[in-house]
Structure 1
């Protein structure tokens, strides 16, 4: 996977709550992907913008796949929570 493909998936699937190689890596409740000179880093921020579940990759494609999977998981969780609220 490359950055263009990842952005197409994000757009086509209406994924949200992310920071895609942006500067605001402390965004609350967001999935973040960033890079430095030698590696790609994917992590999730909690409701306070605190970094949790960080994973470091040597290959961009693997980092992008993890990033997309986390976004999809977040969407599924939000849909589940919203569905539960509608049951009452």
Structure 2
């Protein structure tokens, strides 16, 4: 999956609370994808905008990182609707 594919899915499915490699501080309860050197990192933040222990996953392949982010955003949407 590419960045463009992910952005289209986010828009089409109304997914919320994410940071797509933006240069800013983390916000509360969001999913983050960041490029760090030659890797991509996906993680979740808590109500204090801190990285949730155990949520950080590192990818060498950018496409796999975007797929993981979308998977997590979809799960987050389901949980928010309960």
Q: Deviation of residue 25 (structure 1)? A: 4.3
- Structure 2 length as normaliser, TM-score? 0.93
Unmatched tracts of structure 2, length 5 or more: none
Q: Give 3-state SS (helix, strand or coil) of 2:56's partner.
A: strand
Going from structure 1 to structure 2, the CA distance change for 1:43 and 1:57 (only over 3 Å counts) comes to same
Cα displacement string for residues 23-82 of structure 1 (whole angstroms, at most 9, x for unaligned residues): 2241110000000221000000001001021000000011001100111111000001xx
Larger radius of gyration: 1
More helix by share: 1
Q: Distance in 1 between matches of 2:62 and 2:15?
A: 20
Q: Give the 5 Å matches for 1:22-41.
A: 22-41=22-41
Pair 1:46-2:46 in alignment = yes
- Runs of 4 or more above 4 Å deviation: none
Q: Give the 5 Å matches for 1:63-78.
A: 63-78=65-80
State the Cα RMSD in Å. Answer: 0.8
- Structure 1 length as normaliser, TM-score? 0.87
Unmatched tracts of structure 1, length 5 or more: 81-88
